[in-house]
Structure 1
């Protein structure tokens, strides 16, 4: 059995004590994307994807005993975090059969519920890689990122999210995740387990919350289903990945998401979510060399569609600028957490450095995704600025319901392009 275990110090960085299991051969699905030049010419890049380690089978390195089962750690194997990491192996993945993730050419399909041989999988989170052991890194400042997406099979309560985070480059088995919410549901952080003090979720049979969280700058390029969409920059006071502890992690998962235009995006609307469309996001550099503007375009049926102008009084504009963020907080009567974390100047440091591309599909055990597609908080008026986020009922999105009724849901990301401003699509 030991001959089947490969010690891999690079799995979680130089200090890692984890090992990699070899019961399931790890073969990354291949996925091409395009790198474009200022002239507008694009060349194909051979990439691959890997699934996050949180989804993988974790077992004792000398056998088949689960280190983590359901939403509980094995207290015998994992009596402390460092020992747990050295005793437990993170295994390879059967991408299609277990996790419902498959690629074809330049497309990645993520299925919501997959009935595997040994378990039922719910959602997934994958990363684009530059090879077997390194994530593909993208420096967004001064560039634009374009992709096609099909959200036609994503109903209320689901989120097909594509975004960038300031993770470290070196990894193999989907390790090292972080984001601006400082998630504490990660099984391993900084080469150690997150087992001590772990509290099982009361409404998620696969998850819990540990003592530690993992923080970094995050750019939500795309959070969406067929009803609503949002794109949001999240600065952190420390740009790169770092571990936090307990309440100091903060990380409100839903209270600071905001409303928008109600007749622009959806089935049969200007951007028709019954059909595939293209999403373009530009990270425009100002004269001072810092990020000045994040602009959004859509392309569908050969037509370029600009992001609509805000209809909120005192909060004009159709893109994310420093001024837009400030006036939005005032209009919505919200705490200005964006500028509390350093605002556009601090966020600019994140997109000026390489970031990792994340592609995911998930449901929300914290607030039923109402912050994205319904009225939130639920006792507010949908006509109040910042409260009406979509047409889904406030009773929708309960994970136990949609995991049964929307089990066949899926999202498809495809035709990724990256390059200087104006290189990935024809501007109006």
Structure 2
């Protein structure tokens, strides 16, 4: 569930005061109207064989949905609290012409810091909640990953992530330039984090296809600085990692469209893409002793996550048939959890078409994964190339229970697939955890990719 994320403010008296004073865009004032965009540097490694890896000076850029958005001729905000300024943004094209994205203070305003090969993302920094960044290959291009018959490895420290807060690392079929070439009204491009899409087809992005999402904009009844418009942005996506100290999952989400595609209205509601996807969460699959504090994979200390994209010919020209998961911790390679759920053979401990079909039947979910082409569809996206996103967030829609609690919360907890983690039904309330868990953070490090077996030992 790599859903669209947004900048949020504390939900109580602070927010009310800011809105009443017309200061809902205080985050824009924090960085000014002409803040230079300086991407945090992040060292990554591309490997060619075991122990043979070349360091790359990569960088990250903040998703445009978090950035200050103001008049190009003044500091006046185009978006206040959860509503558009009607003068600057009377229609999509005029808004795109009137409003500009700005550079940001990554550490001071967003709690995003890098050090060598490590990237730390803070949950709450001042008035800002959560963040999402994309890996860059240059100042104007996202890094594109073509991972058929390849593996992707990273280390994650989730020891300061409690229930309700999610660290995500995912691959998205975005345009390398953020859509700048396709949409002339998009002047910012990848440098300013534009062009987001995923299989949720979320309608909360402020811009899609280079124009503002002002038509039919409805402020969220629960999220104080968000809302939804007429348009969403869809594309194939792979959640390589969604997790906190208590639960984790990886998943694949195929779509009927190729590349970033704008949807409209009801079309965005699970019509073009498999929003649920096919997921492997050890706890949900009945293995509750595998991952968590002090367990086989101990989340109180850093762990290395290896994801292998196996093809039918074991070559980069083959078709994806398996997304395999391994862990490395304390010098030991740990195979993925065995399934312990009636109806799913224990031997199916990775994402394959057979596993996904068996899982959907066992938990009683509709099989949109197979209907949209399953791993063959994901194969085409991986061959074309995908962009890497890293994020930290909470969840105003479902309190993150789809990851770490019982979901749906109204279902019988003992029903197959309902229990996804040990967290309580009230553990992920954003209005609570944005205060009580403000200091939560995640550290991603040692990002590597290359042929199968080349990125770990």
Note the C-alpha offset of 1:196: 1.7
Q: Deviations over 1:331-352 (max 9, x none)?
A: 1111001012111211211111
Note the C-alpha offset of 1:355: 0.5
**Contact (CA 8 Å) 1:24, 1:93: kept in 2 or not?**
yes
Q: 1:39 to 1:114 in 2, by over 3 A?
A: closer
**Contact (CA 8 Å) 1:255, 1:371: kept in 2 or not?**
no
**1:294 alignment partner in structure 2:** 323
2:266 aligned with 1:235, yes or no? no
1:389 equivalent among 396, 420, 423: 420
2:225 aligned with 1:206, yes or no? yes
1:76 equivalent among 87, 109, 113: 87
Count of residues in Structure 1 that have an aligned counterpart in Structure 2: 402
Matches within 5 A, 1:47-62: 47-62=58-73
Matches within 5 A, 1:151-300: 151-170=158-177, 171-251=190-270, 259-260=284-285, 261-287=287-313, 289-300=318-329
**Contact (CA 8 Å) 2:251, 2:277: kept in 1 or not?**
no
**Contact (CA 8 Å) 2:166, 2:393: kept in 1 or not?**
yes
Q: Deviations over 1:44-77 (max 9, x none)?
A: 0000000000000000111011001111110111
Whole-Å separation in 2 of the counterparts to 1:147 and 1:163: 12
Whole-Å separation in 1 of the counterparts to 2:276 and 2:83: 25
**Contact (CA 8 Å) 2:341, 2:416: kept in 1 or not?**
yes
Q: What's the secondary structure of 1:312's corresponding residue?
A: coil
1:91 equivalent among 97, 102, 112: 102
Q: Deviations over 1:241-296 (max 9, x none)?
A: 01000111114866986622211100010111100010000000113810011110
2:37 aligned with 1:26, yes or no? yes
**1:3 alignment partner in structure 2:** none
**Contact (CA 8 Å) 1:133, 1:172: kept in 2 or not?**
yes
Matches within 5 A, 1:359-378: 359-378=390-409
**2:154 alignment partner in structure 1:** 147
Q: 1:183 to 1:233 in 2, by over 3 A?
A: same
**1:345 alignment partner in structure 2:** 376
Note the C-alpha offset of 1:100: 0.7
Q: Deviations over 1:175-195 (max 9, x none)?
A: 000001111110011110001
Q: Deviations over 1:86-132 (max 9, x none)?
A: 110111111001111010000100000001xxxx0000000010111
Q: Which TM-score applies when normalising by structure 2?
A: 0.86
Q: What's the secondary structure of 2:191's corresponding residue?
A: coil
Whole-Å separation in 2 of the counterparts to 1:65 and 1:196: 21
Whole-Å separation in 1 of the counterparts to 2:51 and 2:357: 35
Note the C-alpha offset of 1:167: 0.3
2:133 equivalent among 122, 126, 133: 126
1:329 equivalent among 350, 360, 379: 360
Q: Deviations over 1:302-342 (max 9, x none)?
A: 01110011111221211111111111111111100101211
**2:438 alignment partner in structure 1:** 407
**Contact (CA 8 Å) 2:312, 2:321: kept in 1 or not?**
yes
Note the C-alpha offset of 1:172: 1.0
Whole-Å separation in 1 of the counterparts to 2:297 and 2:278: 25
Q: 1:175 to 1:416 in 2, by over 3 A?
A: same
Question: Unpaired runs of 5+ in structure 1?
Answer: 1-20
Q: Which TM-score applies when normalising by structure 1?
A: 0.92
Q: What's the secondary structure of 1:352's corresponding residue?
A: helix
Q: What's the secondary structure of 1:280's corresponding residue?
A: strand
Q: What's the secondary structure of 1:330's corresponding residue?
A: helix
Note the C-alpha offset of 1:382: 2.7
Kindly report the root-mean-square deviation, in angstroms, between the aligned alpha carbons of the 2 structures: 1.5
Whole-Å separation in 2 of the counterparts to 1:127 and 1:22: 23
2:320 aligned with 1:313, yes or no? no
Note the C-alpha offset of 1:39: 4.7
**Contact (CA 8 Å) 1:254, 1:371: kept in 2 or not?**
no
**Contact (CA 8 Å) 2:251, 2:278: kept in 1 or not?**
no
Q: What's the secondary structure of 2:125's corresponding residue?
A: strand
**1:12 alignment partner in structure 2:** none
